[in-house]
Structure 1
Amino acid sequence: MNYSNSFPLAASDASRTTTLMLGLPFDMAREQYANAIRLGLVKHSMLASTKFAQALHALEQATLGPWARRV
């Protein structure tokens, strides 16, 4: 068995998992915003949705730094 390639693969998987776990609160915020629109609690507006998405992305970048997801 050749284990020389297994460490970089495991490190890559661990990094991806960490990024996904750290991004979970931001995904939950996006889901809550979408649910609020569906329920009529927030007016459906493309401009408002874009501003929300941009603000949340900026917050994710500022909070997570190198672990933030790239779009």
Structure 2
Amino acid sequence: MSNEFEVDFFSDSRYEELTAEISYRGQILCQLNKDKGVDSIEIEFFSDSRILPETVEMKFPVDDFLKILMQTKDELIG
């Protein structure tokens, strides 16, 4: 799996529960939250949440993205 993905867990005042933010090469991709329960994890995608000095090509293997999503979901639940 690509090591260019990063996951940060934190409390966000917009949510009651812990949230997780997934970034790729420093650019925020999405945020997962479990406010509706562990069986209803929601994902929110961001297109321009962080402005970086250089353009990041948002192109990566789908399997890597699915793995990081599932890993993050499992950690958020656990």
TM-score range, shorter chain: 0.3 to 0.5
When normalised by structure 2's length, the TM-score is: 0.31
When normalised by structure 1's length, the TM-score is: 0.33
Larger radius of gyration: 1
**Structure (1/2) with the larger helix percentage:** 1
**Structure (1/2) with the larger strand percentage:** 2
Higher RCO structure, 1 or 2 (CA under 8 Å, sep 6+)? 1
